[in-house]
């Protein structure tokens, strides 16, 4: 992208596109893999605003963009777990004030090979409370009894190359309501749903949602967004989804990105 085109993209106030939501039959359903669900999807038109031009704060909106240059081979699992995970853990602790955090489930998506199924067009939050607590108990047994501790799921997303299409959109956490989220199990199952059922939370359409994106993200930038926080009974968290950018050049390379999940622990 030349300088003039990049400037035009960065100065664009919004794009008009659609957000792909799950229909209401998703509640209690399951996801087999990216794009294969037990429920239907529905597209709703939205004006997605340029977050670079807005006064965004992690504490209020639930997301923000940070400068975060790294030297990591994201195609090498050993390398990104050894060198990138500690960097992400430090970043999350600094941004949240958590006493500890761990990174896990890093995934390289997209590119010419559509790695990881390619960009995921589905508004969602990765884990419900039970899943967050299950992952923490499994990955950090040294944390001990976490039943009464505050845990927060925070994701860190970045383009491994300049993002010229299929950007990630994030929802202003203040614009969501608890009833917008539906429990979805990860993997095909006929098991009954109980209060202890772990899973993800897919989003149902709500015209009050306010969506943002960061155009022309660069490899030295990271989008950090807050998902399930066990201390928030209102579920003010930032859903996310890939979107279609209608202003992307038709010859733009396929988006390649790397996303890693984290869970942060707070002493209480």
Q: 3-state class of 210 per DSSP?
A: coil
221 touches 58 (CB < 8 A): no
**Residues of the chain scoring pLDDT < 70:** 1-7, 268
CA-to-CA dists, residue 169 to 17, 225, 267, angstroms: 11, 11, 31
pLDDT digits (tens, 9 = 90+) for 152-211: 999 999 999 999 999 999 999 999 999 999 999 988 888 888 889 999 999 999 999 999
Select from 96, 91, 52 the least CA-distant residue to 70: 91
Q: For the CA atoms of the chain, what is the radius of gyration?
A: 18
Give 190's Cβ-side CA count (13 Å radius).
0
Q: For position 187, what pLDDT does the model report?
A: 85
115 touches 256 (CB < 8 A): yes
Q: For position 8, what pLDDT does the model report?
A: 73
Q: For position 7, what pLDDT does the model report?
A: 61
Q: For position 192, what pLDDT does the model report?
A: 87
Q: For position 268, what pLDDT does the model report?
A: 66
Contacts of 95 (CB under 8 A, 6+ apart): 58, 64, 66, 154, 224
Give 130's Cβ-side CA count (13 Å radius).
13
Structure tokens at 58: 């992690």
Cross-sheet strand order for the sheet of 63-67 = 63-67, 221-229, 150-159, 256-266, 100-110
Q: For position 161, what pLDDT does the model report?
A: 95
């Amino acid at each position: 992208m030349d300088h003039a085109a990049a400037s035009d993209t960065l100065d664009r106030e919004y794009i008009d596109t659609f957000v792909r939501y799950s229909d209401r039959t998703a509640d209690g359903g399951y996801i087999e893999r990216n794009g294969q669900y037990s429920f239907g999807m529905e597209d709703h038109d939205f004006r997605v605003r340029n977050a670079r031009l807005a006064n965004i704060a992690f504490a209020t909106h639930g997301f923000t963009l940070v400068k975060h240059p790294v030297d990591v081979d994201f195609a090498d699992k050993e390398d990104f777990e050894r060198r990138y995970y500690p960097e992400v853990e430090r970043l999350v602790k600094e941004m949240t004030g958590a006493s500890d955090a761990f990174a896990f489930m890093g995934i390289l998506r997209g590119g010419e090979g559509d790695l990881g199924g390619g960009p995921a067009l589905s508004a969602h939050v990765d884990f419900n409370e039970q899943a967050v607590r299950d992952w923490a108990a499994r990955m950090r047994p040294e944390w001990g009894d976490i039943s009464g501790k505050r845990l927060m799921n925070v994701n860190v997303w970045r383009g491994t190359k300049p993002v010229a299409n299929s950007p990630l959109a994030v929802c202003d956490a203040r614009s969501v309501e608890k009833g917008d989220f539906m429990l979805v199990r990860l993997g095909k199952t006929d098991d009954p749903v109980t209060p202890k059922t772990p899973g993800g939370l897919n989003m149902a359409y709500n015209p009050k949602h306010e969506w943002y994106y960061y155009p022309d993200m660069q490899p030295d930038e990271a989008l950090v967004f807050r998902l399930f926080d066990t201390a928030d009974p209102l579920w003010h968290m930032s859903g996310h989804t890939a979107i279609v950018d209608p202003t992307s050049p038709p010859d733009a390379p396929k988006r390649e990105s790397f996303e890693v999940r984290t869970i942060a622990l707070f002493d209480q």
